[in-house]
Amino acid sequence: MSIKMIVQGATQLRSSGAMLVAGLVVGASALCGANAWAADAASDATATAAATTPAAGAPRILVLATGGTISGTADPRSAIGYNSGNVKGQELVRGVPGIEKLATINAEQISNVGSQDMSDKIWFQLARRIQEVFDRNEADGVVITHGTDTVEETAFFLQNVLRSDKPVVLVGSMRPGGSTSADGPGNLYEAVEVAASPKSRGRGVMVVMNDQIHGPRWITKTNTTAVQAFASPNAGVIGYVDPASVRFVTAPPQAARNVLGLPANGQLPRVEIVYAHSNMDGLQIDHAIADGAKGIVLAGEGDGDASKEALAALERAAKKGIIVVRSTRVMSGFVNRNVEVDDDKSGFVVSLDLNPQKARLLTQLLIANGVTDPARVQQAFTGTW
């Protein structure tokens, strides 16, 4: 072998070695780079989880969905048309940005109806599930998504039957999801915020709508379609909420609530509301008697008044053992005893500040619990004052 051939072989060997070393270096660099990228990705994922997951020991909130506009979707039949109860509770929660930072949230579907179809059956399901959750310490608070038409009745019902100092917050919306100004996501965020707040402990049932917190005894719907549709005419709101704060302007109730039991048959007794008007006779009241009503609530004129014929029919009802409660169709004010009507003589009960729909509910619950003497019924209506 010539010296020239030996030199060429050595040169090729050095070149191959250099390529091998270079390949090893590149491979190592690529491996290190991949590990570094994976570490960065893991770090980002951890940071994201930390930013979207509540801290250890965060409040546990159970969302119970019942339907309503808040779970509705737009319908092309009109510019503001919609169908209630199309979206499930879990979807509602997932659609609210940042809500997962407030609490550990679980959602269950109780029903999916417009609140005009709210029923005793759904009420009893709600009450029993909430009581079960609190008795087993499965949640620190409950939020109920609900239609606005009867949310005040559901809230008042629950306030009278639940035994717990943990908060229950009802929430709805006036505009459905998909509309240009849907208020549901913001309302639901604030409802969870209120339910998760330590300030809410001992306040029982509340309704959160449009940055306001209302008590169930006083809240009523005051507008058919406006976002600001609720007010508490005789007492005012009990607090305010925004995404950054919960502020109560009233002290928690000091007196223990008189909790009423649920009837074993799963139904509340029949109590009718009769609406007073000019030129009124007693036919509606006589029909209620014939239909087997156990109670009659008068949505009276002014301070719960009605025509002579209507009052005479109500006296006939009272003599048959039917509970007669005088309320008013007027939005604010109290119905007091023995003003224009001799309630003592007629055997009537007055509703004080309770509107007809809430007076009906309390009368139903009292009858279901065996309270039928007019004096005792009146005491129950007066109990919080």
Binding positions for substrate are: 115, 148-149
DSSP code at position 335: B
What is the distance of C-alpha 179 from the center of its chain? 21
CA distance linking residue 98 with residue 145, whole number of Å: 18
Helix runs in 204-347, H state only? 283-290, 308-319, 343-346
Q: Which residues contact 204 (CB under 8 A, 6 or more apart)?
A: 159, 162, 165, 167, 168, 216, 253, 257
Contact assessment for residue 118 and residue 154, using Cβ atoms and an 8 Å cutoff: yes
What's the alpha-carbon Rg for the chain, to the nearest Å? 32
The residues with which 323 forms a beta bridge, in sequence order, are 295
Instruction: Look up 382 and say whether it is catalytic.
Output: no
Between the alpha carbon of residue 318 and those of residues 114, 225, 376, the distances in Å are 35, 39, 15
* Active-site choice (148, 150, 154, 363): 148
Q: Which residues contact 151 (CB under 8 A, 6 or more apart)?
A: 68, 115, 170, 172, 207, 219, 221
Instruction: Look up 154 and say whether it is catalytic.
Output: no
Helix (H) or strand (E) holding 157: helix 151-161
Between the alpha carbon of residue 307 and those of residues 205, 280, 303, the distances in Å are 37, 6, 13
**Could you list the active site residues?**
69, 148
